[in-house]
Amino acid sequence: MSSETSPAVPQHIAAESYAFVMNVSSLAGATSYALAPGCEIRRAKPDEIAIIKDTLKTIGPAPHSMNELRWETRLQPLGGLVERLPESEWRYFVIALEESDNTIGELQRAFDLAHLELELGFTVLKLAGRHAGVTWNPPRLFHVLQNAQLGGPFFMDVSADEIQEVKVIHAQLQDYNHDLVDVRGLASQFGELKALPHHSPLRFLGYFAILESMLTHTPNPSDPYDSITRQVKKKLALLNRRFQRAIDYSPFGSATADTVWSRMYKYRSLVAHGGTPQFTGDLAVLGSPKTALALLKETVKAVLRQALSEPRLLADLKDC
């Protein structure tokens, strides 16, 4: 995770350090959850909230008023009126750290690959009770919060099962032999795409590039059955039978997976060559850029998770 730090801080950080988790609404059935040795997610304390609010005013995107209202209010289901939350329900959550090391970077990679994606805004570093600095990824922070301002779901209720998935992925990333499939590197690339505007065509192309790098080899030009498109469709069909959570094709109605991915590749080709795709005709089955992006992103995550569990299978699949 790229970052900016001010001022320079020692590598060993005391237990007062914490990372601001931006999109947690509540922890279901618990006041805290352990994520890794020396790390737990919990509600922020009053002094931590004060620092988080001051930091958001400094590094958060404008308008700065939104950077307070977002965590202290919510829209009522009917009428869309803004409701001021009692302080006990403010949505400031943190990951408390005993040591910084690379834990936060690894946790963000695990969050990115999990079904429920939590977003770390910045890490407040302290040493012996003294504020030692803040580290963050400026473009990712900006675009995640900018996208939140555009509406749609942002805050999430986090359950024990979802925490367990993060813990498993985090442990796999720590113990994994990346020689067969460089999942850590690919997960880092996946996260870096969040530093682009949410609706940027480059984000769509970036997810496709990661997917193809995991599943495809250079096609034999004399073999019509060896095309990139055919490789992806056939290999995804095989992997989908092994995924713990199958790819959700329900947004595409009665269209088969084969049809959906044929249209996804037509959409990809138009984007890659500077076209302005219209979701009519053949592309109508995809519905919208938002729906197509969601399918592609969740598919890439599923393949990366499978690579953590079955690296040899993914390595062999790439070559066949």
Asked if the model's pLDDT at residue 127 lies above 90, the reply is no
DSSP string, 55-89: HHHHHSPSPTTHHHHHHHEEE-TTTT-EEEPPGGG
Rounded to two decimals, the pTM is 0.89
Contacts (Cβ under 8 Å, ≥6 apart) of 171: 36
pLDDT > 90 in the chain, percent? 70
HSE-up of residue 310 (Cα within 13 Å, Cβ side): 12
Asked if the model's pLDDT at residue 79 lies above 70, the reply is no
Instruction: Tell me the domain boundaries of the chain.
Output: 4-174, 178-319
pLDDT digits (tens, 9 = 90+) for 145-159: 988 876 668 999 999
Region 170-178 average pLDDT: 91
Region 164-188 average pLDDT: 93
Region 227-235 average pLDDT: 94
What is the pLDDT of the chain when averaged over all its residues? 89
DSSP string, 211-273: HHHHH-----TT-GGG-HHHHHHHHHHHHHTT-SS----GGGTT--HHHHHHHHHHHHHHHHT
Contact indicator for 145, 61 with CB cutoff of 8 Å? yes
Confidence of residue 110 (pLDDT cuts 50, 70, 90): very high
Structure tokens at 103: 């834990």
Asked if the model's pLDDT at residue 210 lies above 90, the reply is yes
Confidence of residue 240 (pLDDT cuts 50, 70, 90): very high
Confidence of residue 99 (pLDDT cuts 50, 70, 90): low
pLDDT digits (tens, 9 = 90+) for 188-207: 999 999 999 988 999 999 99
pLDDT digits (tens, 9 = 90+) for 138-147: 999 999 998 8
Region 168-172 average pLDDT: 95
Asked if the model's pLDDT at residue 85 lies above 70, the reply is yes
Higher pLDDT, 128 or 308: 308
Region 239-263 average pLDDT: 96
Higher pLDDT, 88 or 74: 88
Region 62-70 average pLDDT: 75
What's the pLDDT score for residue 3?
A: 45
| Bond prior to 77 in cis (omega within 30° of 0) | no
What's the pLDDT score for residue 4?
A: 43
- Chain centroid to CA 58: 24
Region 44-73 average pLDDT: 86
Asked if the model's pLDDT at residue 263 lies above 60, the reply is yes
